[in-house]
Structure 1
Amino acid sequence: MPVAPSNKAQSNKQPRASRALSITENVPQEKEEGCQAKRSPSSPQGGPKKRSAFGDITNSHKNQTVTGKKEEVRAPIRKETRAPPAPTVAKNNEINLKKSWRKNPPADVPVEPEKDSVPEETVQVVVVEDIDKEQLGDPYANAEYAKDIFDYMREREEKFLLPDYMEKQPDISRDMRAILVDWMVEVQENFELNHETLYLAVKLVDHYLVEVVSMRDKLQLIGSTAVLIASKFEERCPPCMDDILYICDDAYKKEELIAMETSILRTLNFDINIPIPYRFLRRFAKCARASMETLTLARFLCEMTLQEYDYARERPSKLAASSLLLALTMKNLGGWTPTLEYYSGYRAQDLHPLVKRLNFLLTYQPCDNLKAVRTKYSHRIFFEVAKTTPMDMMKLEEKLKS
């Protein structure tokens, strides 16, 4: 490993070997930020690795009385006949017509069953929990707008669906992309970046490669620049440019990094608010009242898909929902509830094929050399969820059907 230049050691954010680095977890419960300590299990010394990689109103009429001298004479009351409103007449006619049909049903008109004749056992009441009511008093939670925000993100998914762009990349393969993402996971760990930053950075790489043909020697520059852009979008304190160049083993110059940042932003028309699975996963876990351990298992399943090109074209919301459903099934915590169906927009049957694929990915890891995600989630801070035994495919099939 090359020695860091002396002038880079004075940067604001110093990811060096002398600093104990850690990982931050954004947890959907009330005090999630303090649930898991920041730590970087894949880097024992804590320093970043240098690595080259790729309602109705009516009037009331009252009786009027006339008083005489000797006796009361009651004035005649003129009763005014008023026709009921047209909708009421039409409604009564419809009811009478239906009654006559039940007594003498025509041959070509089906008879509707009366409500009283429906057994009570056939009436099913679906209860959907309001998961945002507990935070209505919190000005920082934006609970009044939470559902609208996630509905908007679901709409934006249509704009950011990825095509199969590898066909037009002559010098880049799926394996090179997997190596690059594996390196980006290590960067996220060592710089203590949010998981949203990692997911967004991977999305930026994919959407840039859809539009621009690139060579393999520029792939790490694209990945590191995507991390820098995502950090500026997601982090309170993003890493400085010198740190980004340092972890690339000084393979690129500052001018190249700035030029690539300009190229990515212009290519994407500065629209980088791309929906990512991690945000949906936190929302759905809140609907399921999932524990921290169950949520971490779902995060591990979801993060494993970052390296796999076949999962890049899946909808982020569907990928998050499937990861949570598999985690709930592995923990024997029940299936897809009406609350989850309401807030996610997916039925359990819609998720079963993707759930099976995720379990297959967990069982048979494609490449043994790319271990950043598994090593990260094998640490006790993450409940060692990477060591969880995958489900048997036949047993999973039975549980999903039940």
Structure 2
Amino acid sequence: MACSQRPRERMPLPRNAKMLSTKQSRAGKAGPAAENVNPEKPLLQEESCHAKRSSSSPQGGPKKRSAFGDITNARKNQVVAGKKESAKVAPPKAQRAHNTLGVAKNNEINLKKSTKKTPPPAPAEPKEDPAPEKSVQEPKPPEQRVPAVEDIDKEQLGDPYANAEYAKEIFEYMREREEKFMLPDYMEKQTDISGDMRAILVDWMVEVQENFELNHETLYLAVKLVDHYLVEVVSMREKLQLIGSTAILIASKFEERCPPCVDDFLYICDDAYKREELIAMEMSILSTLKFDINIPIPYRFLRRFAKCARATMETLTLARFLCEMTLQEYDYARESPSKLAASCLLLALTMKNLGGWTPTLEYYSGYSAQDLHPLVKRLNFLLTYQPRDKLNAVRSKYSHRVFFEVAKVTPMDMLKLEETLTSS
């Protein structure tokens, strides 16, 4: 028991103590209350605010153009061809001066017969018109067979910072990268670290994120960096907090506009490590992961799926709480980030009685409701029985009114949840 609590001795002091000097140095950074001012504010507006943090060149819409050439050109060509054919029949007229009167009359009779047999060019026009018109209308029947799915990016096409033209492709790329970063069961080869020690570390990292007012993306990425580093390196328990603080430093450089400095991380570790050790650990983590730290995280997928559901900030915050609860649990570290995010949102929608999984959500997430039911039940079980009562950093954070006190929401009864998921 003493070994498992050793990392906890280096945890940060209370927020109202020495940490105030650090937060005053970062006074220019906005607090978390900025994104939760109005509980009824639609997520779409909140999405646009966050989206403007990244820059992108404005993209113009495609210019309209005719799909086919001028159909009248074909008509003129047919008229000219008809005249050429009649000109070929006309030579008997030139022979009247050189032939006898009888031969001339026979030629006139033959001319009349030939003109009767030759089809006039005019009737050919209706045969040519329907073909182009039919080809223009051919794409319409397949569109009518496609199920009705809402285009969630069309409202932001005029915003050059939203990347709405490429949003779908970006998340498809992130789904592909998920396969590369799936975690194995690495605790089997860690002789001095357990899942409980990892939970203590993550609980401390949540406090650091809250005290430094870092983005949620920074916290999720830092936890991923810790897990992927421990997959490759066998570490001792006395180095676990150094790994966690260095992971937050790297994630801050990747996600934050103004990341904390090295001295800040030495301070939150209560000067248990030296500057050289922190820098050496940063080099070790980056070289071990081959500098490929753009790891897909559930939080990004959660924001995307909540936009598909047009969820309010209160509903999104409830889903965030469910998703952040899983950070401490080693069993959820091996779940697909997109599937975990979709399951958290489905449980939040079910808890607030806001409906089930819509065709739009199924289209953009790639998961049907049946695919998510097992994980949704596990999440509700985690929320109901609270396996780690002593590690309450996440619950304390989301019990604040800034986060709509979503941690105080009563979990659903397991039988009622089963009935609701089955009927939907």
The interval holding the TM-score normalised by the smaller chain is 0.7 to 0.9
**Shift in Å, 1:344:** 0.3
Q: 1:250 aligns with which of 271, 279, 302?
A: 271
Kept in 2: contact 1:24–1:193 (CA 8 A): no
> Is 1:62 the counterpart of 2:82 in the alignment?
yes
Q: Structure 1 length normalisation: TM-score?
A: 0.77
Q: 1:24 to 1:274 in 2, by over 3 A?
A: farther
39, 45, 58: which one aligns with 1:30: 45
Aligned to 1:397: 418
Q: Of the candidates 13, 23, 33, which is equivalent to residue 15 of structure 1?
A: 23
Q: Following TM superposition, by how much is the alpha carbon of 1:22 offset from its aligned partner in structure 2, in angstroms?
A: 3.9
Quickly say closer, same or farther: Cα 1:374–1:167, change in 2 above 3 A: same
1:126 alignment partner in structure 2: 147
CA distance in 2, matches of 1:256, 1:34: 38
**In 1, distance between residues paired with 2:375 and 2:304?**
19
What SS is found at the alignment partner of 2:199?
Answer: helix
Aligned equivalent of 2:313: 292
| CA distance in structure 1 between the aligned counterparts of 2:35 and 2:337, rounded to whole angstroms | 17
Runs of 4+ off more than 6 Å: 1-4, 16-21, 24-27, 55-59, 69-72
**Displacement of 1:17 after TM fit?**
11
Give 1:32 deviation, angstroms. 5.4
- C-alpha distance in structure 1 between counterparts of 2:307 and 2:49, whole Å: 17
2:214 to 167, 174, 193: 193
- In the TM superposition, what whole-angstrom CA distance separates every residue of 1:158-185 from its partner, at most 9, and x where no partner exists? 0000000000000000000000000000
Alignment-mate amino acid for residue 229 of structure 1: I
Is contact 1:25-1:32 (8 Å) kept? no
Match of 1:205, SS state, is helix
CA distances 1:105-156 after superposition (whole Å, capped 9, x unpaired): xxxxxxxxxxxxxxxxxx9872100000000111000000000000000000
Question: 1: CA distance between counterparts of 2:33 and 2:247?
Answer: 19
Q: How does 1:63-212 map to 2 (within 5 A)?
A: 64-65=85-86, 73=111, 75-76=114-115, 126-212=147-233
2:349 to 317, 328, 332: 328
Q: Which has the higher helix share?
A: 2
| Match among 360, 370, 378 for residue 339 of structure 1 | 360
| Cα shift at 1:21 | 8.8
The 2-side partners of 1:240 and 1:357 are apart by 39
Please tell me whether residue 236 in structure 1 is matched to residue 244 in structure 2.
no
Distance 1:385 1:342, change over 3 A: same
Q: TM-score, normalised by structure 2?
A: 0.73
Question: Where does residue 221 of structure 1 map in the other structure?
Answer: 242
Kept in 2, the 8 Å contact 1:22–1:190? The answer is no
5+ residue gaps, structure 2: 1-8, 37-42, 51-66, 97-107, 120-143
Count of equivalent residues = 336
Larger gyration radius, structure 1 or structure 2 = 2
Q: Residue 128 and residue 209 in structure 1: after superposition, are their counterparts in 2 closer, same or farther (change >3 A)?
A: same
The separation in 1 between residues aligned to 2:49 and 2:169, in whole angstroms, is 28
Deviation for aligned residue 1:311: 0.1
Instruction: Measure the CA separation in 1 of the matches of 2:264 and 2:352.
Output: 40
Shift of residue 29, structure 1, vs aligned partner: 2.7
The alignment-based identity, stated in percent, is 76
Q: Provide structure 1 residue ranges, at least 5 long, that are not aligned to the other structure.
A: 36-54, 80-122
Q: Counterpart of 2:291 in 1: which secondary structure?
A: coil
